[in-house]
Amino acid sequence: MSLLIKNGTIVTATDQYVGDVFVDGEKITTLGTALTMPADRTIDASGKYVIPGGIDVHTHLDMPFGGTTSADDFESGTIAAAFGGTTTIVDFAIQYKGETLHHAYETWMQKAQGKAAIDYGFHMIITELSDQVEVEMDGMVREGVTSFKLFMAYPGVFMLDDASIFRAMLRTGRNGGTICMHAENGGVIDVLVKKALAEGKTAPKYHAVTRPARAEGEATHRAIALAEIADVPVYIVHLSAAEALEMVTDARDRGLPAYAETCPQYLFLSEDNYDEPGFEGSKYVMSPPLRARAAQDTLWRGLAFNDLQAIATDHCPFCMKEKHLGDGDFSKIPNGAPGVETRMSLVYDGGVRTGRISMNRFVELTSTSPAKIFGMFPRKGTIAPGSDADIVIFDPKKTTTLSAKTHHMKVDYNPYEGRQVTGVTETVLSRGKVIIEGGRFTGRAGAGAFLKRSARS
């Protein structure tokens, strides 16, 4: 099957020009102007952007957490991603205590295979380290699971002590992987949570009060310092606070391989959302929490100047029924919020249209840079001969209203309910197949393939 996309404005992280893209089977084979080769199908993209499919390197599909399981599985989550213009995800497999990494890998494979509609990779969450697990880490890298997420938060559940973190870093420094860090000081937060509950402060807003920005800044500093000693690249996930960004900026200014992502929720929502009436504030209970509105400008500046390298979603949806597990105790509200479907439109509308970032930078932050950091480039993350034909035709003029009534994520609220965004995904190709067209999913659950990602060379 061949496909010719004509007259679109092709945008990569570095280029922008009106031209044609020829797709043969699963790959892009030719770029040019006025291409005339015969194709099984031609799509006119005049007036539209033709961009590499979005890459979301932070999702939690079908994830047991907080006494329940995230609402989207690999089928609903990847279809929702595709509707939003994302063609690759990297999800987090979890090694639970007493289990091997291999078991976690197999468990997540079972969750994804036959269900994922787009390509997917895994990071590996390590919650318990032993000599045996260290050996397994090298095996994971060989299997294409080339990044390990470690937690400085959630004591008793996911948190590792500094010694274990450092050991995992040393191993990763040698095996060519990358460390992803959840950087919040879990010990300090635990004390603050217990104190708040003892004082009768049980409402959702106390989730934010007990997770101060400085606790994120401190952990980010510690993560980078440990990674520097271990000589390993570190990628700070879901960075939300100016105090944390300052640590990443300092490290990068010193030439360290420190990277960080932020997420749309930290760019468009704020701690004010916790004051919504009744139990509505629970919709925004996630970790790190939403911050003061002023932090948004700092994050946008970080994105523009490459102190932040990626925008992912931390998609971890729970329905309101599950959020109500925390009635009368905010610490029992499952942490996480939906976002895999809304990322591209939100960032285009709030970033490109407002002039905060260029169209090239938009592509870089949502696709190219995560592909490079996590060993997927140039197979993914660009429009070039030889790359997978993961392509989004994006209408920059179309406006839509974000709403739980119309989204495809399997969750009964949308954190951006009623927000109008201009810039909408129109058509999506996953490895050469049209999977979104005319507002419909035309792909197939199970068509997504596991991505063996490369290690550092």
CB of 71 to ligand URP, least distance (A): 13
Least separation in angstroms between residue 60's CB and ligand URP is: 5
Closest by Cα among 299, 284, 282 to 337: 284
Q: Which is nearer to ligand URP, 84 or 186 (CB)?
A: 186
User: Of 182 and 372, which has the nearer Cβ to Zn ion?
Assistant: 182
Taking the complex as a whole, how short is the minimal distance between the CB of residue 158 and Zn ion, in angstroms?
8
Number of residues that bind Zn ion (CB under 5 A): 2
Give least dist CB 53 to ligand URP, A.
23
Q: Shortest gap between Cβ of 374 and ligand URP (angstroms)?
A: 16
Q: How far is the CB of 97 from Zn ion (least distance, A)?
A: 17
The nearer residue to ligand URP, 238 or 419, going by C-beta atoms, is 238
CB of 268 to Zn ion, least distance (A): 18
Q: Which of 435, 340, 417 is nearest to 73 (CA)?
A: 340
Nearer of residues 117 and 340 to Zn ion, judged by Cβ: 340
Could you identify the residue written with the tokens 């140039």?
378
Closer by beta carbon to ligand URP, 184 or else 243: 184
Burial of 103 from C-beta contacts in 10 A (0-12 / 13-18 / 19+): middle
Smallest distance from the beta carbon of 359 to ligand URP, in angstroms? 29
The CA distance from 240 to 259, in Å, is 14
Cis before 385? omega within 30: no
Binding site for ligand URP (CB under 6 A): 60, 182, 238, 286-287, 314, 316, 335-336
Taking CB atoms, the residue at the shortest distance from Zn ion is 182
Burial of residue 131 (CB within 10 Å: 0-12, 13-18, 19+) is exposed
Please tell me the distance from the alpha carbon of residue 400 to that of residue 32, in angstroms, as a whole number.
32
Task: Work out what residue 336 binds among Zn ion, ligand URP, none; the CB cut-off runs from 5 to 8 Å by kind.
Answer: ligand URP
Ramachandran region of residue 278, left (φ > 0), alpha (ψ -120 to 50) or beta?
A: left
Q: Which is nearer to ligand URP, 316 or 428 (CB)?
A: 316
> Residue 172 is which amino acid?
T
Residues in contact with 299: Cβ distance below 8 Å, sequence separation at least 6, in sequence order: 239, 240, 242, 245, 262, 266, 267, 308
| From Zn ion, ligand URP, none, interface partner of 335 (C-beta below 5 to 8 A by class) | ligand URP
Residue 411 beta carbon to ligand URP: minimum distance, rounded to whole angstroms: 13
Tokens of 166: 């450092």
Closest-by-Cβ residue to ligand URP is: 335
For strand 178-182 and strand 234-236, is the pairing parallel, antiparallel, or unpaired? parallel
d(CA 111, CA 384): 32
User: For ligand URP, which is the closer residue by CB, 222 or 356?
Assistant: 222
CB atoms within 10 A of CB 159: 21
Give the three-class secondary structure for 27: strand
For Zn ion, which stretch binds (CB under 5 A), given 103-111, 178-186, 220-228, 265-273?
178-186
Query: Which option in Zn ion, ligand URP, none does residue 251 bind, with CB closer than 5 to 8 A by kind?
Result: none
Nearer to ligand URP, 332 or 398 (CB): 332
DSSP-assigned beta bridge partners for residue 283: none
Phi–psi pair at 69, nearest 5 degrees: -130, 140
Q: Which stretch binds Zn ion (CB under 5 A): 5-13, 29-37, 179-187, 422-430?
A: 179-187
* Nearest distance from C-beta of residue 182 to ligand URP, angstroms: 5
Point out which span in 63-71, 105-113, 158-166, 309-317 binds Zn ion (CB under 5 A): 309-317
8 A C-beta contact, residue 430 and residue 82: yes
The yes or no reply on residue 182 touching Zn ion (CB under 5 A) is: yes
Instruction: Decide: residue 78, CB within 10 A, 0-12 exposed, 13-18 middle, 19+ buried.
Output: buried
Nearer to Zn ion, 56 or 314 (CB): 314
Q: Does 314 bind Zn ion (CB under 5 A)?
A: yes
Q: Which is nearer to ligand URP, 57 or 196 (CB)?
A: 57
Q: How far apart are the C-alpha atoms of 404 and 414, rounded to whole Å?
A: 5
From Zn ion, ligand URP, none, interface partner of 286 (C-beta below 5 to 8 A by class): ligand URP
Contacting residues toward Zn ion, per CB under 5 A: 182, 314
